Amino acid sequence: MSLKQQFYQDSSRVSTKAGSSRGSDNTFDNVTQTPIAGRLIVTIVEGQKLNVSNYQSRPYCVCEFERIEVVTREAMRDSDLPNQRGKPMDFLDLVRTATSPVWKHKAVFDVARLDGEVHVSVYERIHNNAQSENFLGMFKVQPPRRPNQTIDAWFKLSPRGKETVTGKVRVQISYEIIEYLEVNDFEKSTFLDNTSAQSYVSPYSRTIHKRRNRRELRKRTYALYWIERLPVQVTNDPFANNIFNGTLF
């Protein structure tokens, strides 16, 4: 028996054993995705009386919900505005930005469960300093569980351990239900060559579908795609690959 014949024989034995041990149980068939119930909109508005270590610091926040983190921008100074550039820096502007920062940063989270909490941590960043990151406090918020309900309140900062923490942060949180799309929600669109959406049969086998749809909602376009299916070539060669091509447009 040649080495090539022995290799194919061993390969068939391995595949037979693997198929018999698995049986009809397929691991991937048991994988389920958690449906998205809605979206949580969190806006970190501003802070007051933060215990900063340096008036050159620029505080920022880290907002976390269901293991997803969003980092806000650094607090903006009046001297950073386009119409204020080139002017001398005001000391009161530095103090106000460090101790009472304004962020107005909005973050959007997908909601799979309604029992999660929003965690907000505040840090200060000091440029050109050896210890550039300092913890300023944290707090937790139970988000609203009903749509069209908004939380707009100040939350007192708490320490993680023995840190000296002062101040509070204003946060706005609202919850909205996701509107799932259906077939009737779409309207027929056209291709770039101005031809209508179409479906035709390939001359060599299988159907090739080319479809492009859109849905107008809040002045945005949804579900714009191009799907193409090519024939599958199956051979006895164990090294041959099945062909499937799906190209997003």
Share of the chain above pLDDT 90, in %: 27
Q: What is the pLDDT of residue 6?
A: 53
Asked whether residue 89 carries a pLDDT value surpassing 70, the answer given is no
* pLDDT of res. 75: 83
Chain-wide mean pLDDT for the chain? 69
Q: Which residue has the higher pLDDT, 210 or 233?
A: 233
Residue 132: per-residue pLDDT: 73
Domain ranges of the chain: 38-177, 183-249
Of residues 4 and 211, more confidence is placed in 4
- For tokens 């949180």, the residue is 173
For residue range 47-60, list pLDDT tens digits in order.
999 999 888 888 99
What single letter denotes the amino acid at residue 106? Answer: K
Q: Beta partners for 134?
A: 124
| pLDDT level of residue 93 (50, 70, 90 thresholds) | confident
pLDDT of residue 217: 43
Task: Calculate the CA 68 to chain-centre distance.
Answer: 7
Question: Which residues make beta-bridge pairs with 39?
Answer: 110, 176
- What fold is seen in the domain 38-177? Immunoglobulin-like (2.60.40)
The count of residues in the chain is: 249
| Strands of the sheet with 68-71, listed across from one edge | 68-71, 58-65, 118-125, 133-141
DSSP letters, 52-80, are -S-TT-EEEEEEEETTEEEEPPPPPPGGG
